[in-house]
Amino acid sequence: MIKLYDYPASGNCYKIRLFLNILGVAYETVPVDFYPGLEHRNADFKAINPLGQLPVLDDDGFVIRDAQAILAYLASKYDAAGTWFDRDDPVALGKTMMWLAFADQITATSSAARLHDVLGFDLDVDAARKGAHAAFRILDDHLIEQEFVGEYWLAGDRASIADIACFPYVALAPDGGINLGNYHGIRRWLARIKRMPDFVEMPGIFLEFDEPMAAE
C-alpha cells in the first residue's frame, strides 16, 4: 500500500491527501513529528529525504519526494482518464508545469508566514508576507483573466494537479496574517476547489460555501 510520510498541519502533505482522496487511492500515513519534535531534520528522516522536507511518498518501494513531483506521479499512475495532468498536449503540459512550479513560490512565502504566526518559527515574517502578496497578485490576475476567457482553473478549462498544488497555502494564508479579502479571483477559485467532489478538509481549511462564485 502507498505510504505517505505525513504531518497533518502541513499544506504540502495535505495536497497529497486531497489528491489521493479525489483519485480514490487507498494509502496509509507515517506520522512525522514535524512540530515540536523537528523529526524531519534528524538523520533517520534524512535517510528518506536528504532535503529534510515533507511530504515523501513510498509506493511499493518507489520513494519520491516533493509534493508537485508526487502529484505528477500519482496522476500519471492512477488517473486513468488522464484529466488531472494532460501530458499529450504540449501547451497544456507547459501551463500545468508552470503553475506547479509556482506552488513552491507560495510555500516559500505564505507557508513561512504561517509557520511564524502559528508555531513561532524564527524568520522574517514581514518579508514572507510581502512575498506572498506579490505571488497572490500574480495568481489573482491570472485567475481573473482565465474567467474572461471562460476557463476557471489555473492551467485550462478543467481542474488539474496545478490547482491542487497551489491551493493549500493560498487557502491557509490567513493563518499567517495574510488577508485574502481583496483577491476576488482567488476567492472564487478557492470556492470552486472546495466544491469539487471528494474534497477533504485540513485544520485551518474549512468546507464553507460563503465565498462569492463566478458564473460558470
Choosing from 2, 4, 5, 7, the residue that interacts with another protein (CB under 8 A) is 7
C-alpha cell at 131: 512575498
Q: Is 117 in the site for another protein (CB under 8 A)?
A: yes
Per-residue mark of binding to ligand GSH, 148-187 (x: CB under 6 A): ----------------------------------------
Helices (H), the chain: 11-23, 43-48, 67-78, 90-106, 112-119, 125-148, 161-171, 184-194
Binding pattern to another protein, positions 146-165, x when CB under 8 A? --------------------
Nearer to another protein, 31 or 94 (CB): 31
C-alpha triplet 168, 69, 6: angle, nearest 5°:
55
Applying the rule CB under 6 A, the residues between 49 and 108 that interact with ligand GSH are 52-55, 66-68, 104, 107
> What is the rounded CA–CA span in Å between residue 117 and residue 123?
10
Q: Provide the minimum distance between the beta carbon of 113 and ligand GSH in the complex, in angstroms, as a whole number.
A: 13
Q: Which of residues 121-140 bind another protein (CB under 8 A)?
A: none
Q: Is 52 in the site for another protein (CB under 8 A)?
A: no
Q: Which residue has the cell 479571483?
A: 185
Q: Does 181 bind another protein (CB under 8 A)?
A: no
Q: Does 203 bind another protein (CB under 8 A)?
A: yes
Q: Which stretch binds ligand GSH (CB under 6 A): 6-14, 74-82, 92-100, 121-129?
A: 6-14
**Grid coordinates of 49:** 529525504
Supply angle C-alpha 19, 6, 188, rounded to 5: 40
Q: How far apart are CA 201 and CA 118, in angstroms?
A: 18
